[in-house]
Structure 1
Amino acid sequence: MNDENYIEEFIPPENFAMVAPNIYRGGMPKKKNQPFLEKLGLKSILTLILEEYPVQNQSYLKKNNIKLFQFGVAGNKEPFVDIPEDVMVKAVLTLLDTRNHPILIHCNKGKHRTGCLVGCMRKIQGWSYTSIFDEYRRFSAPKSRSMDQQFIELFDPKPVVNSLNIKYIPSWLTL
């Protein structure tokens, strides 16, 4: 195959979607997703995985001058694992700071932990629970977790709202 006939494929990460202007969500990026991600011009990646970030991904971030925010969160599985609310507050504040945009949020599959973070952000945006849970279930299907939905419902947005730097909030966010 010669270079003239080569067509680069743009493959988004699993469960990829735009959450809001300059905020994206998806599963753990793989090598095959890198050409797609380059088109987004990412400034930051926010990961919710507990494990050390994969070396291959670290190299990609370094090469593309992308900042990594790692908020290690265990899956919200019954009965003994809970998402720490203070960690989620910090993650939402990171998302709502335009200095980090464009940003990609991910966990392993872009379903549960990512869905919790997006759900918490949606509360700050003033979305109804019906809309928040509909979005959560679309990405988490077929294994939606009632514990995740309960976390979103009980999440207190006041610590986020009280800590936002008004100078750097997205123009689409009305408080």
Structure 2
Amino acid sequence: MMSILEPISSITVEKEKEAIDSKDTSPTKPNSSSPSSSCCFESRSSPTHIAINLVPPLNFSLVEDGIYRSGFPMPINYPFLQQLNLKTIIYLGDLGHHQNLRVDKKKKVKKDKDGTMEILNQYIQWIENQNTIKFHNLLVESSREPFNKLEEYEQTLASLTLALQLILNKSNYPILIHSNKGKHRTGLLVGLMRKLLQGWCLSGIFEEYERFAMGKFEYDLELIEIWQPELLVDNDQKPNFVRI
């Protein structure tokens, strides 16, 4: 299982203390010149301005109006995600699935040395605290190598089909699609969306895939090219960019 940990730049916190005229008891108004990039917390006795930089997740990008893609969000990215007013998060990966907790006698159970599961649990708790985001944890196996089992292949296709159905319903927007690094599995779903929902040519799809993946993974590109799932389309809920 690929680690989702990435080097994290620290949050910049600036505190400025200001003197208060004892004759003026009116509260200080927060600076509204850049509401999207900072938050201000103030106290009457000792006003303190705390500016928090909004840091997007790894490989964050706009896909279409109301659809974003990225790598796995870290705690430093949560304030940024709050600005997107997300309704749906689609995670394509292998973390947190009971299928992966089955013990294989031939393999040793790996300990969570890098804190991956701790980060996943913290992320799920943050999502639950928002009260407005539906989280879909869809099991998608890595396609760097051929699928070892038919079960893995079928599960991956079922997850991708569900993800496409979620994208076909505009009531789920805004949507964030992410995997562990925001490269291959996310690129696979976006590539399928470009082909099946928008009718892009394969050359354009592959160019976009490679731009994020920083290289080719033939199994992803082959699946994008040949797979034709049956999708249900509700014309009343269909997003404007969909061409089917």
2:64 to 16, 20, 32: 20
* CA–CA distance in structure 2, aligned partners of residues 59 and 79 of structure 1: 34
Structure 1, unpaired ranges of 5+: none
Residue aligning to 2:95? 51
Most deviating of 28-37 and 49-58: 49-58
Aligned to 1:125: 198
Q: Which of 121, 124, 127 matches 1:61? A: 127
Q: Does 1:165 align with 2:199?
A: no
Matches within 5 A, 1:12-161: 12-52=56-96, 54-65=120-131, 66-81=133-148, 83=153, 84-123=156-195, 124-141=197-214, 143-157=215-229, 159-160=230-231
How much does 1:79 deviate?
A: 2.9
Shift of 1:144: 2.5
Aligned-partner SS, 1:40? coil
Between the aligned partners of 1:50 and 1:174, the Cα distance in structure 2 is: 31
Letter in 2 for 1:74: E
1:155 counterpart letter in structure 2: W
Q: Whose helix fraction is larger, Structure 1's or Structure 2's?
A: 1
Aligned length: 171
Aligned 8 A contact 1:112 1:144 in 2: no
Q: Find the residue that maps to 2:68 and give its secondary structure.
A: strand
Q: Which amino acid aligns with 2:141?
A: A
- C-alpha distance in structure 2 between counterparts of 1:144 and 1:15, whole Å: 17
Gaps of 5+ in 2: 1-14, 17-40, 42-47, 97-116
Per the normalisation by structure 1, the TM-score is 0.91
Larger radius of gyration: 2
SS of the residue corresponding to residue 134 of structure 1 reads: helix
Check if 1:9 corresponds to 2:9.
Answer: no
Higher relative contact order (Cα pairs below 8 Å, separated by 6+ residues): 1
Equivalent AA in structure 2 for residue 149 of structure 1: L
The one-letter code sitting in structure 2 at the alignment partner of 1:173 is V
User: TM-score, with normalisation over the residues of structure 2?
Assistant: 0.66
Give, in whole Å, the separation in 2 of the partners of 1:48 and 1:164: 22
- How far has the Cα of 1:174 moved from its partner? 2.4
Q: What is the distance in 2 between the residues matched to 1:101 and 1:80?
A: 32
